Amino acid sequence: MNRSTDFVVIGSGVAGLRAAIELSRAGRVTILTKDRLDESNTGYAQGGVAVALSDEDEIDLHIEDTLVAGAGLCDESAVRVLVEDGPGYITELIDWGASFDREDGELAFTREAAHSRRRILHARGDSTGSEIVRALLARAAAEPSIQFHAHAVTTQLLTDNGRCTGVSYIDTLRHEEYQLGARAVILATGGAGQIYGRTTNPEVATGDGIVLAWEAGALIADLEFVQFHPTALALPGAPCFLLSEALRGEGGRLRNHRGELFMSRYDHRAELAPRDIVSRSIRAEMDLTGQATIHLDLTHLEAGFLRQRFPKINQTCLALGLDMTRDPLPVSPAAHYLMGGVRTDIHGRTTLPGLYAAGEVACSGVHGANRLASNSLLEGLVFGARAGLAASLEPSITPLPTAPTLRRSVEEWRIDAHLKATVQDLMWQKVGLIRDGQGLAAACQELKDLAKSAGNPRSRHFATLAGLIAAAALWREESRGGHFRSDFRARDDQRWQFHSSQQRAGVILGLPIIPGR
């Protein structure tokens, strides 16, 4: 069966929903998502959304903090769009019913690492992402031109004469594959944390969209820059649960197994240093002391405040036998966010006509080598809307020819469990927090072999993406932001201050940084 629409949005997180709402004014929109509609990285975002809205803040300060965190690789023009347009989109979201926490009737702002001001809005304490998704889903559901299709796994981006013309996807409930033609396709598939064995990301974060775009011929960039969150709960047998950056922003401290505060030995900003520095400092301290964890200590903070400010974290810890008001919490770093992705301009356009990308799947140049905490939800709103607006201007196309409906088995859309575990272990050991040329070269070859031997397309995509990350990391012979090479420890602006880029031909080239206007 052939189905038609005007626009396809792949993904139902903040970027996908905001893009769909924008597109709904121009035609029929179909949202495809491979799990439930509300299952995305957005829903797991605890800390909040950064926006220069408070009286004590300034647009230029937020821009400067973002540029500093990005370690010389941010495209300033994209950063300016993010920060200058951000307040308007947050205000719009509030008008649509999003409820952020307030104090005495005014929006309550908190501070996180590497921010010079208290500019982080939060909802229900530590459930910001889920509140944003709730508001956007309600707004999108009110648009009659938006159709939701859950449990739909996209298997291919369709192209014709160098243009993206639609998608193929499998309905995993019906076990059937369909083609869907469209004027434009917007990738909003989120991140790729599941590439690593230890990650804060949900099961759906397998990086599908990046490989789909790469296979279709689009340019991808900066995949070597992977952000590891410093503080994920590390209890044997327990889930890898994120302990928000805001815990340190509110005064949480990191201690080694002897109870010593150690962060000031590694950076003058101590617990409020950028995430890459905190994560590597924790790793160094664990190596130094021979321990598998360190502790996040909140016990000096007022118990009632902690329970009210972080209700979800408090409840999760209690369920696992820990009281964060009395017990130091065992933590260690975990893969959290991918700064690279499908290369886009400030309107979400990729290098493949008809294909757009927004959110974590995209590399807009906003994050550079290291994302500033809580900028990602704002990026999804701002660039989701911009991608939707730009895509809405695409001309109509000739409908796809009728294609037969194909029956598909479960094995064709599930990543092989053994291959997944092998890739995750390999990435954690050789393409993780600390890398070196020998390990990266070995990983590249092993991942190439795994991709060749993969039994179905999704397994091949999973191994291929891991290989693309490893190849970019091997190519960049310096340390910068989320990429650290033990054999090239210094940042080298003279030789490496540009973006990496990869296309299906396999060549890695440098792209210049785009300055501000």
Residues forming the active site: 275
First to last CA, the chain: 48
Which contacts of 474-479 are long-range, i.e. CB under 8 A and separated by 24 or more positions? 474/437, 474/440, 474/441, 474/444, 475/224, 475/500, 475/508, 476/224, 476/500, 477/437
Q: Position of tokens 């290291």?
A: 370
Cα 89 to its chain centre, rounded Å, is 19
Nearest to 93, CA basis, from 139, 48, 130? 139
3-state helix, strand, coil split of the chain in percent (to 5) is 35, 20, 45
Q: What does the alpha-carbon distance between residue 473 and residue 225 come to, in Å, rounded to a whole number? A: 8
Asked if 253 contacts 295 with a C-beta cutoff of 8 angstroms, the reply is no
SS3 184: strand
Whole-number Å distance between alpha carbons of 154 and 244: 31
Q: How far apart are CA 385 and CA 343, in angstroms?
A: 17
Residue 500 CA to residue 509 CA, distance in Å, equals 6
Cross-strand partners of 106: 103
**CA–CA gap between residue 72 and residue 27 (Å, rounded):** 40
Using DSSP's 3-state secondary structure scheme, residue 448 falls into helix
Tell me if residue 71 falls in helix, strand or coil: coil
Token pair belonging to 238: 């327990």
Token pair of 218, please? 């689009």
Joined tokens for residue 492: 């080298």
The Cα–Cα gap between 323 and 45 comes to 22
43 forms bridges with which residues in the sheet?
none
Structure tokens at 476: 């960049």
- Cα 448-452-455 angle, rounded to 5 deg: 130
Instruction: Give me the count of residues in the chain.
Output: 517
**CB distance 375 to 65 below 8 Å:** no
Beta pairing partners, 186: 9, 356
What's the number of CA atoms in the CB half-sphere (13 Å) around residue 70?
28
CA angle 414, 215, 186 (to 5 degrees): 85
- Neighbouring residues of 60: CB distance < 8 A, sequence distance ≥ 6: none
Rounded to an integer, what distance in angstroms lies between the CA atom of residue 468 and that of residue 471? 5
